């Protein structure tokens, strides 16, 4: 028999948002499990969702009235009271329309209004048909929402309601439940750590209007900074130019060139306990940068003379006292061999190797796959996953290193 103390979500107040997707019926089973595990669940449906599933089904199972109408809800100020009481808001399934409203801050029904009034953790499990998930607008909205700390679970690939095959199926219930568990009892296993992260590209000036740069968006480094912060670490993020929002609670140091980035990191090395170099630092810069814009007429052809930039990672490894140092290897083929070589050559503790030409990986994408190679001889292959999730897996791997300070190792590492 299950005692009440075994119930995963006992005493938790959860808002289950359901929007107008054919997958709305799957929210019924999700609700049953949440209630069985002890949660008090208030279901908020969009008007479109009520066309797919009768609200009565949710009312019976949740033993609470189901609300969708903002104006009816206003009488009891539900958009405030429910949202303030909640420990967690999970929207499953979420349509492209719901993602857009969340990203843009539109509030024209109870669910979207609650997205603005609640301060609790939010999980969104999208489901949509016909290739909509891959549309650049949907991807942009998803990226914006993730940067605000919302967990967006990737939909699965498979047969869609339209008969097409593609990515868009609501992720499975286990994935939603484990995300709920993780957000309700966040790990605080990096408390006491001081984490220095680099992210984004560097820009090396050719003249006042042109530079040598690269395709890094900063997403990988920002995800690491955010993950470390959420797990309790103090975090400084040294970042090249990106279009990303500053991660909550993280000190951000903006830089432009490889030289600036090196200085910013080296002066903060002594402060840190762990350094992660996710930035795509330029390996070469123009030997001379022109003070004036180079004129087209002056160019019958042009040769740029380049010189190497200092290797920041190697310098950090040489100057460290007890810091754990993690580097990346951006490769255009399977990265294992290169990652192993970089680990030795740079004298660091762990290398995250990624093939930046693989589908949905590397520069600019929201997901990535990697191989982790560490100084203790371990090799871990990590499949394609959101960068935010990969960030957590990298932090988990760092905690298992023999050089990671013993008092900070997790007691029950999975
Ligand atoms: O920013 P995103 O769009 O999210 O993309 C993520 C990413 C592809 C940039 C990231 O996953 C990644 O691979 N970062 C490292 C990119 C890189 O410069 O790799 P590299 O193999 O050229 O360099 C190896 C390591 O040395 C890196 O940790 C790099 O930060 C560091 N380095 C490189 C040159 C230099 N002058 N100094 C350095 O410290």
User: Which residue, 149, 104, 160, is CA-closest to 127?
Assistant: 160
Chain segment 248-306, per-residue pLDDT in tens: 889 999 999 999 999 999 999 999 999 999 999 999 999 999 999 998 876 678 889 99
Question: Among all chains, which residue has been given the structure tokens 């095959």?
Answer: 165
Q: Phi and psi dihedrals of 263, rounded to 5?
A: -60, -45
**pLDDT(390) > 90:** yes
Mutate to test the pocket of ligand 1, among 259, 330, 347, 350 (most ligand atoms within 8 A of CB): 330
User: Which residue, 187, 188, 198, is CA-closest to 325?
Assistant: 198
Mutate to test the pocket of ligand 1, among 261, 263, 280 (most ligand atoms within 8 A of CB): 280
Bridge partners (DSSP) of residue 118 are none
Ligand 1 neighbours (beta carbon < 6 A) = 216-220, 258, 277-281, 283, 309, 311-313, 327-330, 342, 354, 356, 362-364
Rounded to two decimals, the pTM is 0.78
54, 69, 97, 214: the catalytic one is: 214
- Closest-CA residue, ligand 1 atom 8, reads 362
Domains of the chain and CATH, by start: 11-184 (3.40.50.1950), 194-408 (3.40.50.10300)
Comparing 321 with 77, the larger pLDDT belongs to 321
Rounded to an integer, the average pLDDT of 313-339 is 97
Ligand 1 atom closest to the CA of 308, numbered from 1:
36
pLDDT at position 73, please? 59
Q: How confident is the model at residue 407 (pLDDT cuts 50, 70, 90)?
A: low
Count of positions (residues) in the chain:
414
- Closest-CA residue, ligand 1 atom 24, reads 329
Q: What is the DSSP letter of 87?
A: S
pLDDT at position 413, please? 36
Ligand 1 atom closest to the CA of 223, numbered from 1:
4
Chain segment 222-232, per-residue pLDDT in tens: 999 999 998 99
Active site residue 354: no
Side-chain half-sphere exposure of 378, counting CA atoms within 13 A: 15
Chain segment 158-200, per-residue pLDDT in tens: 888 888 888 999 999 999 999 999 899 888 999 999 999 999 9
């Amino acid at each position: 028999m299950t005692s009440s103390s075994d119930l995963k979500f006992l005493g938790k107040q959860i808002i289950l948002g359901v929007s107008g997707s054919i997958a709305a019926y799957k929210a019924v089973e999700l609700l049953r499990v949440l209630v069985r595990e002890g949660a008090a669940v208030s279901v908020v449906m969009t008007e479109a969702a009520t066309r797919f599933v009768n609200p009565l089904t949710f009312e019976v199972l949740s033993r609470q009235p189901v609300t969708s109408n903002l104006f009816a809800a206003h009488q009891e100020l539900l958009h405030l009271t429910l949202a303030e009481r909640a420990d967690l808001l999970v929207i499953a399934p979420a349509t492209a329309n719901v993602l857009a409203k969340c990203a843009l801050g539109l509030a024209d029904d109870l669910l979207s209004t609650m997205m603005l009034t609640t301060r609790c953790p939010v999980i969104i499990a999208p489901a949509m048909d016909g290739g909509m998930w891959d549309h650049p607008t949907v991807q942009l909205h998803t990226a914006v929402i993730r940067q605000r700390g919302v967990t967006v679970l990737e939909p699965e690939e498979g047969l869609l309601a339209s008969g097409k095959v593609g990515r868009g199926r609501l992720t499975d219930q286990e994935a939603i439940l484990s995300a709920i568990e993780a957000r309700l009892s966040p790990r605080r296993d990096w408390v006491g750590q001081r984490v220095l992260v680099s992210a984004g590209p560097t820009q090396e000036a050719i003249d006042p209007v042109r530079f040598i740069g690269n395709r890094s968006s900063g997403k990988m480094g920002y995800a690491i900074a955010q993950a470390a912060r959420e797990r309790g670490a103090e975090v400084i993020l040294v970042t090249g130019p990106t279009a990303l929002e500053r991660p909550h609670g993280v000190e951000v140091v903006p830089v432009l060139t490889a030289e600036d980035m090196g200085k910013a990191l080296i002066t903060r090395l002594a402060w840190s306990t762990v350094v992660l170099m996710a930035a795509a630092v330029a390996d070469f810069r123009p030997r001379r940068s022109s003070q004036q814009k180079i004129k087209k007429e002056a160019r019958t052809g042009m040769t740029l003379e380049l010189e190497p930039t200092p290797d920041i990672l190697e310098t950090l490894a040489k100057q460290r006292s007890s810091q754990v140092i993690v580097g990346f290897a951006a490769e255009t083929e399977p990265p294992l061999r290169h990652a192993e070589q970089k680990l030795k050559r740079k004298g660091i503790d762990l290398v995250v190797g990624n093939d930046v030409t693989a589908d949905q990986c590397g520069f600019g994408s929201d997901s990535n796959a990697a191989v982790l190679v560490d100084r203790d001889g371990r090799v871990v292959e990590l499949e394609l996953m959101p960068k935010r999730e990969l960030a957590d897996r990298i932090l988990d791997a760092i905690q298992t290193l023999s050089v990671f300070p013993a008092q900070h190792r997790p007691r029950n590492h999975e």
